[in-house]
Amino acid sequence: MNISRTLVLVRHGQSEWNAKNLFTGWKNPDLTPLGVDEARRAGRELRKRDILFSVGFTSALLRAQHTMSLIFEELGQSSVPTVRDRALNERHYGDLSGLNKDEARDKWGEEQVRLWRRSYDVPPPGGESLKDTVARVLPFYCQRILPPVMRGERVLVAAHGNSLRALAMVLDQLTPETVPTLEISTGVPIIYQLNADSTVASKTVLDA
């Protein structure tokens, strides 16, 4: 029997704070009109490929939840069971949350802000490093997301740039040196087919 072990990752559409160039983290802005369009387009791209889902996982934050609901709406699957958990939240930016990124550079310097944003294990004041984010995302992946995928269910994860980087560390076998430079576009589905040992058989990025 050919089991379809399908896992689809989508970063939320553009948020109001993305548009204002603000550090967002665990703050809770909604999508912009462009972000709504990006989420709907993601749903249409998945529909073209006849990909329907058994379950969805998202964060405790509105922008990811809204993205997931719009995708399911486009797929005609608004009744799909969904799990919301802060384990999938964006990285917590601590004292940077709500600050304009250019203003943060003026305050702390270009190099320090770059280190906070792009290093693996240096957290901003009061916040999380990418390493910290990985430490909460990966157990959730192993315990909650992976089992239904391995049973042959199609699973959608709508989350955030850094929580999806954490998943990509496992799926794409990235290292602490390579994962911080990974760019994940808003509203672009990434489709993984997994082997029986949970490694990646194929990866397709639906970038229109």
Rounded to two decimals, the pTM is 0.95
| CATH class as words, domain 12-34+80-205 | alpha beta
Digitized pLDDT (tens) for each residue of the chain, 208 residues in all:
457 899 999 999 999 999 999 999 999 999 999 999 999 999 999 999 999 999 999 999 999 999 999 999 999 999 999 999 999 999 999 999 999 999 999 999 999 999 999 899 999 999 999 999 999 999 999 999 999 999 999 999 999 999 999 999 999 999 999 998 899 999 999 999 999 999 999 999 998 5
β-sheet bridge partners, residue 157: 9, 57
Among 189, 175, 200, 154, smallest CA distance to 38 is for 189
pLDDT at 109: 95
Query: Residues 181, 142, 30, CA angle at the centre, nearest 5°?
Result: 60
Do 71 and 105 contact (CB within 8 A), yes or no?
no
pLDDT at 2: 59
Instruction: Give the C-alpha distances (Å, rounded to integers) separating 59 from 81, 110, 193, 207.
Output: 14, 30, 22, 23
Among 155, 158, 145, 172, smallest CA distance to 38 is for 158
**Main-chain phi, psi angles of 186, to 5 degrees:** -70, 135
Residue 121 CA to residue 128 CA, distance in Å, equals 9
pLDDT at 69: 98
> Where in the sequence numbering do the catalytic residues fall?
12, 90
* Radius of gyration over every alpha carbon of the chain, rounded to an integer in angstroms: 17
Do 39 and 187 contact (CB within 8 A), yes or no?
yes
**Main-chain phi, psi angles of 55, to 5 degrees:** -155, 155
pLDDT at 208: 59
